[in-house]
Structure 1
Amino acid sequence: MKKYIIMSYVLTTLMVLCSSCDDFLNQEPISNGSVTGFYKTQADIEQGVAGAYNSLQSYKQYGANFIFFMEVRSDNTYTESITTSGGIYGDFDLFRTTSTNSILDLTWAGCYEGIQRCNIVLGNIDNVVMDETLRKQYKGEMLFIRALTYFNLVRIWGDVPLVIKEVKDPFEAFAFTRTPSTEVYQQIVTDLNDAAGLLSDKVEKARTGAITVGAANALLGKVYLTLKDYQKAENVLKKVIDSKVYNLLDNYGDVFNVLNKNSIESIFEIQYNKDVTDQGSRFANIFAPKGSTEVTGGVGTSLGDNTPTEDLYGKYEDGDLRKDISIGRISDGRLYCKKFVVAPVLPNQSDANFIVLRYADVLLMYVEALNENNYKTDGDAFLYLNKIRERAGLKAYTSEELPNQEMFRGAVWNERRFELAFENHRWFDLLRTGKAVEIMNASTDGEFTVESYQLIYPIPQSQIDAAPDKMMQNDRY
């Protein structure tokens, strides 16, 4: 019997509603229910909005899977056991991921489930009697989540189906083909510009962690940087800086302290709550060295994924305060990713959020755009780059050390690696800078060779099988 799973719309329409719980952004999706006739009140819309946030929180996206796509794939980390679960995780590390890898399928489905949830809210919100300020805010949040999700999809798979309206009939899904990435990026830019015009600078305390205009502009700056539109990137990132809403914390370690969630440096982070069943984060159990108990206190299984490479560990400058905050070492000598790790109260139930966008990233993107537009020996590019370095306990760069655009460019790219390690930026930074093949081949010690076609992943085979006349596979997969 043929499985109707393309883009997972059957499941999505059944899972879009959310049950109530204490934290607006920590609500769980109802597994059964009909969308038809549901969206009648402001409370209904709020549950739908919470469902869209929940899609980002899921293990299919930021809760687990993205780590393999965005960090384990890079020279930053690896998975300790390449044979776990039949090698589905190790294959990301060794560049041998095939179209039948179940992680590809789950992540694809998870992303499109989230997009469907956004589309449902956007398609119904204007028909509901509700507070107008909240209506604008919720619209902006849904546009941001849809844009963020497509930004991840297009960087992972290249051309992907672009769906910006609710799919009400599962069979509609079979009409969709892969949209050229240029068009997907156009929609991402449109969504983020629209979102920026709708969102507030700040949200009330009851909705801590909700998306703001700063998040929309920060993400838009990252999109423009990816597209190498450096002037637009510079302009929109300057808006974030000039807003004065955000700042660097004095202590790098405070950025990741669970007592400091959603700090003045945080622009957007995925919310987790150890006190709500199934709403805690998995990072401690995923990152702790395989079979160890020191990091988790013996609670749950330690998997040894996202393990920092010795190459990364050895390349921090002497005195860099970020090294011991980012990377831990247990008593048997094994390294582990220390960021986002708080001992769980139950297996896979910890209190650590995951930071998607923060002010340090904005500053580094801004100085990169400034340099690409016009290298200057004195100016904001040096000023902001050195703010990052000085917080890390390192000496400031001078124009004598970085006397031209090329050397400054290399310094910024290098700084991003250490400042943002394990925050799901490294693989995409390698792609964006055109360094992925060169750097990865230098990091493999000749064990395998990375080729350019592997810079994007294979389309899940389930999607090809469901509509072989519509869904074409990426080259050489």
Structure 2
Amino acid sequence: MRILKIILIGGLFFIVSCEKELIQNPNTDKVANNFYTNEAELEEGVNAVYATLQFGGNYDIAIPALGEIPGEDAYDETPANDGGVYGEIDQYNVIPQNGLIENVWRDAYKGIQRANIVLNRIEDIAYDNATTKKARIGEMLFIRSLYYFNLVRIFGDVPLVVEEIINPQDNFGQTRTPKEDVYNQIITDLTLAVDLLPNRNEDNKMRVVKTAAYTLLGKVYLTLGDYPNAYDNLIEVVKSKSHKLIPIEEVFSTENELNEEIIFAVQFASGINANSEGTDAYRMFNPTGRVEGNMTGTKGHGVLKPDFYDLYEEDDLRKGVYVDVLESGIAYSKKLAIPSTVIGDSESDWVVLRYAEVLLMLAEIENQRGNIDIAIGYLNEIRERVNLGLYEGLEDKNSVFNEIDLQRRLELVWEGHRWFDILRQNRAGEVLGVSDSNRLLMPIPAKQIATDSALEQNPGY
């Protein structure tokens, strides 16, 4: 039968049809040109876009790894294992042949192409409910924006593709788009998504909703140093009253997933579909010596430094809930659930956006704008939730920033933010001692450049 096949052209992945007998999952054995002719088929396409978030190059492994391992709090306990791909990230000596970096590029563009297909086809498809159709467009714009936000922070300039690729040959010779243009597209898409997406409710909380678009757009503006626009979007999340801080032991509980603190999460499930719907993050990032029941085989690629655990004050409720320490002294994140079936099949969702970060971003923005009292107010919401009480330190801009930064580290540990925080604050030299600015971007994967020489490598690689 005719199937879809992923091929690499011009540094991007595209879906084309080919002749071959092969049994595949229902949402991948369709011919794009003959499919997506009605609402039910398009809904399959939408689900296929969401599915890409679970890929290894996205939120199963790579994005969390790149967000944490290069920072000052995590490190690779076994840097030579698994081809050294995590050790290279930890030691700032990534090579263009690094398999993890290849996966990031490949899987992000898979998701982008799938989103572009839906966006290209949906206008001609009649939906029973016009509101649902609008929501699906908003969801696709959000996910595409999320992928480009990751790509531009990791690689800098990247090819910007916002149309469905029908003929892969057309994309030979496409060069990298300046990051400023990529950010402009992200802002355009998210601004439109805000208007299209519905408010959060019990029926749609597993999907992208309006507060997710506001939060990501606010974070994009914060990354660009545009504090007024960052504030305008993030404050809408507060005003929506759709989210709140909850007891910390419930935030990452698998019994309470998609709770009111969670704004957007990539969903995983354990023990189903031949153990293919769980995340491998528990196995990859827990200490090599951690044994829980019959669960062994952890890789140690993202453990926490012992001095990080000591940053928590004695009465901080996050100590022992968010992080813990083995008898060996190695600290680790407890935000990932212990697998119940096989070691690479944890059911923990990967939380991409949550309300605690919204409050911390607002605190940072208000502090930067000189509104110290307001910044401390947001900061105190985080502190009081974990039994620390009100902030009593110096109330100058630098001191308050340091406390906000500390609380980001303690609250958001191993959620994939730290490296990107350091980058957007231009503090890699100060915090990490990284003096070579070329190491602040990852190399364009060697396979992409070998496929199309129009893609130029980042300096220093």
Q: Same fold (TM over 0.5)?
A: yes
Alignment check: 8 A CA contact 1:14 1:32 kept: no
| Counterpart residue number, 1:238 | 235
CA contact (8 A) 2:254 2:337 kept: no
Q: 1:293 is paired with a residue of what secondary structure?
A: coil
Decide which of 400, 412, 417 is 1:425's aligned counterpart: 417
CA distance in 1: counterparts of 2:331 and 2:299, whole angstroms: 13
In the alignment, structure 2 segments of 5+ residues that lack a partner are: 1-6, 19-23
Task: Output one character per residue of 1:122-173: Cα deviation in whole Å (capped at 9) or x when no partner.
Answer: 0000111112111100000000000111000000000000000011111122
Matched, 1:318 2:314: yes
User: TM-score if structure 2 supplies the norm length?
Assistant: 0.93
C-alpha distance in structure 2 between counterparts of 1:325 and 1:182, whole Å: 40
% identical equivalent positions: 37
Q: CA deviation at 1:300?
A: 5.8
Q: What secondary structure, in the 3-state scheme, does the structure 2 residue paired with 1:57 have? A: coil
Which of 60, 70, 80 aligns to 1:73? It is: 70
Residue 113 of structure 1 corresponds to 110
1:410 to 398, 402, 413: 402
C-alpha distance 151-106 of structure 1, shift in aligned 2 (>3 A): same
Match of 1:392 in 2: 386
Q: CA deviation at 1:450?
A: 4.8
Supply the AA of the counterpart residue of 1:452: S
Task: Give the letter aligned to residue 282 of structure 1.
Answer: D
For 2:256, the equivalent position in structure 1 comes to 260
Structural RMSD (CA): 1.9
Residue 442 of structure 2, aligned match among 429, 435, 457: 457
> Using the alignment, how far apart are the partners of 2:340 and 2:147 within structure 1?
28
2:135 equivalent in structure 1: 137
Correspondence 1:439 to 2:437: no
In structure 2, the CA distance between the partners of 1:365 and 1:13, relative to structure 1 (3 Å rule), is farther
Amino acid paired to 1:223: V
Q: Is the 8 A contact 2:9 2:452 kept in 1?
A: no
SS at structure 1 position matched to 2:394: coil
Is the contact made by 1:77 and 1:306 (CA closer than 8 Å) also made in structure 2? Answer: yes
Corresponding residue to 1:308 among 268, 291, 304? 304
Q: Is the 8 A contact 1:6 1:462 kept in 2?
A: no
Shift of 1:8: 3.9
- 1:239, 1:86 → 2: CA distance? 45
Tell me what 1:195 maps to. Answer: 193
Deviates more, 1:349-358 or 1:271-280: 271-280
Match of 1:330 in 2: 326
- Looking at structure 2, the residues matched to 266 and 414 of structure 1 have their Cα atoms a distance apart, in angstroms, of 21
Given that 1:321 and 1:392 are in contact with CA atoms closer than 8 Å, whether structure 2 keeps it comes out as: yes
1:247-297 deviation digits (Å, cap 9, x = unpaired): 110x21210111110001110011111142211122222233225422xx3
- TM-score normalized by structure 1? 0.90
Give SS of 1:115's match. Answer: helix
Q: Distance in 2 between matches of 1:204 and 1:6?
A: 42
Partner of 1:186: 184
In structure 2, the partner of 1:18 is: none
Residue 329 and residue 209 in structure 1: after superposition, are their counterparts in 2 closer, same or farther (change >3 A)? same
Query: What amino acid is the match of 2:232?
Result: N
User: CA-to-partner distance for each residue in 1:319-363, whole Å, 9 max, x for gaps?
Assistant: 222122122223444332211233332232221111000000001
Q: What is the rounded CA distance, in whole Å, between the counterparts of 1:363 and 1:458 in structure 2?
A: 33
3-state SS, counterpart of residue 323 of structure 1: coil
Aligned residues of 1:28 and 1:54 also touching (Cα < 8 A): no
